[in-house]
Amino acid sequence: MKKRTKLTILLLLTAFTSFAPAADHSRFYRQYNDALTISVPVLKVERLLQLLEAYPEKAAELDLVISTSFKGQKITQPMKQSAENLLKRHGGIPAITAIALKFIPEEKTQDDYRKKFFSKCDFSALTSVEWQSVVQIVSKHTAYHIRNNSCLDGGAVIYRPVSALPDDLAPEIRFELLYHALFLFWNGAWEEHCSAANFDRWQTLPATGCKKYYDETLNKLIALEEVLFFPESAALLQVYNTHCLKRAGIYAKKISGSRNRALREQIYEAAFVSKDRKLLSLVSKVENSTFGAFVLTMYFDDPSKLDKFFQPQEVQLIRAVWKKEYQTAEKHSAGILASGTISSPWVVRAMLDMIWHTKNQTMLRQIAAAAEKNPKQLLLPSIANAIAYNFAVLNIELDRAEKLLKSALNAEPKNPAYLDSMAYLLYRKKQFKQARSFIRLALKFANPAESQSTILLHAAEIELAATNDKDAAREYLRKAKLAAKSEDSEFDYARAGELTQELSK
């Protein structure tokens, strides 16, 4: 009898042990389903975070529902407490860190937790899904340090995941992480080594610190050329256009057969930046189009094809803008607008270049009306942005401008020029908090060596209006002056000087 009892107990213990995980698994889904029935979004998120505390291994399953339920809600104290508990206990796990950081409202505290994550995480053991969470964390880390002019410090921290990227990871994931890191390293090397006098001598800088990390990261990006697909391939060419002009020409030839419009536009950009007219011939029919004729005139001082693709008065307009004869251009613009016919968006672009100099408010309204009347042909995202930005500069038609910018951003949500225009427009409307959000996005996605001075100037003005933080504004202005000098932008250099003087009063 005693032997039977012992055997029975042993069998029961074995059965309990065998079915305990299943019971635990069942308990999680029962609590999970109960949480989903909560109708109040705030309470639902609080419950889901508490559930994540109890089942941290379920982070991947809970991520989407937490993010969806939280959208548009305010962070509550229970949310923040759960997030802090998760970060303290599991701060080296990518998926948990990526979720929990959304519920830490203080940026400095977020950055402290990110630094702890980079030091704790065992990158050698991560799965592909976990690396996607690392990319999210690196992206936020990069944006924070670019905004706060602390890229040298921020770059040293994220070198660890960059150096640990496995070669067998999906190329789009590798690209995304390296892409964000590259711009942080670029800015960090700028902070460490560069001044107005030596900014243009990038290749002569010592290969230490962020400059060393930058060189290594660029080489890793080059190694991805053969395996990247769109949209990463377009973004890689954008990197080359800014950072590695010789490579831009080589890579543009490799991808010139693509039918993708965004890729073709990046090849055009490579031609503009490098002043290499041969690149335009890589894509079939580029030169033999209204766009090609306009580009050859404005960027390569060759107006020979204008007569073939534009109406006589349009040709006179583009020639006048090219020669910087803006009063003459204004007369031709009036004639074209009166005719009611505009053959190409590049005619509108020429008019808008003229408006920047003449500040003719009446004509700007007429140009906008003509483009809005024929949006499919004329209102390209870049044209909508240019119209809206001119409205913002002149401080008129701001609601109309906002509608135009929303359409541009719907088409290209990460375009730094459009994000900057929206930030400046909201600044004009005295919506300083929203303006600050948009200028931060513009800084995040902007190429550090390309048209950066205007964004930095706007960042200084918006920072002052939103927070009255004069030290942060001065730092933006310092960078704006360096960028303006590198870009030969006399207007932005002078404006940065004026704002610096005003701050010193």
Structure tokens at 145: 């340090």
Among the listed residues 416, 450, 417, 385, the one whose alpha carbon sits nearest the alpha carbon of residue 248: 450
> Which of the four pLDDT bands, split at 50, 70 and 90, describes residue 500?
confident
pLDDT of residue 78: 93
Rg (C-alpha) for the chain, rounded Å, is 27
Q: Out of 64-78, 289-303, 421-435, give the one with best mean pLDDT.
A: 421-435
Which one is predicted more confidently, 240 or 124?
Answer: 124
Query: What integer pLDDT is reported at residue 17 of this predicted model?
Result: 37
What whole-number distance in Å separates Cα of residue 355 and Cα of residue 505? 34
Estimate to the nearest angstrom the gap between the alpha carbon of 464 and the chain centroid: 23
Q: What is the pLDDT of residues 173-230, one digit of tens each?
A: 999 999 999 988 988 887 777 554 444 556 677 788 888 999 899 999 999 988 888 8
Residues 6+ apart with CB under 8 A from 456: 443, 476, 477, 479, 480, 483, 496
C-beta of residue 368 within 8 angstroms of C-beta of residue 400: yes
- Mean pLDDT across 294-308: 86
Give pLDDT, residue 23.
43
Residue showing tokens 């303290």? 88
Measured between alpha carbons, how far is residue 237 from residues 139, 187, 240, 282, 309 in Å?
Answer: 20, 19, 5, 14, 29
* Tens-digit pLDDT profile for residues 186-195: 888 877 775 5
Each residue's pLDDT tens digit, 338-387:
999 999 999 999 999 999 999 999 999 999 999 999 998 899 888 999 99
pLDDT at 257: 73
Asked whether the predicted pLDDT for residue 505 surpasses 80, the reply is: no
DSSP 355-381: HHHH--HHHHHHHHHHHHHSHHHH--H
Counted residue by residue, the chain has a size of 505
What pLDDT was estimated at residue 119? Answer: 93
The answer to whether the bond into 231 is cis (omega within 30° of 0) is yes
* Structure confidence by residue, pLDDT tens digits, 149-176: 788 888 989 999 999 999 899 999 999 9
The model's pTM? 0.64
The mean pLDDT of the chain is 85
Distance (Å, whole) CA 501 – CA 481: 13
Residue 88 clears pLDDT 90, i.e. is over it: yes
Q: Which residue has the tokens 């048209």?
A: 451
Alpha-carbon dihedral 196, 202, 207, 210, rounded to 10 degrees: 70
pLDDT of residue 334: 96
pLDDT recorded at residue 159: 93
Q: In the predicted model, what is the mean pLDDT of residues 121-129?
A: 92
Q: What is the pLDDT of residue 346?
A: 92
16-59 pLDDT tens trace: 333 334 446 688 888 888 888 999 999 999 999 999 999 998 88
Cβ-Cβ contacts under 8 Å for 104 (sequence gap 6 or more): 80, 83, 84, 87, 110, 113
Q: Per residue in 276-314, is it b (16+ CB within 10 Å) or e — as a string?
A: beebbebbeebbebbbbbbbbbbbeeebebbeebbbebb
Q: What mean pLDDT comes out for the span 278-296?
A: 70
Q: Which amino acid is at 263?
A: L
**Nearest by Cα to 463 from 449, 448, 477, 445:** 477
pLDDT for 305 equals 87
Three-state secondary structure of 177-220: HHHHHHHHHHHHHHHHHCCCCCCCCHHHCCCCHHHHHHHHHHHH
pLDDT for position 271: 72
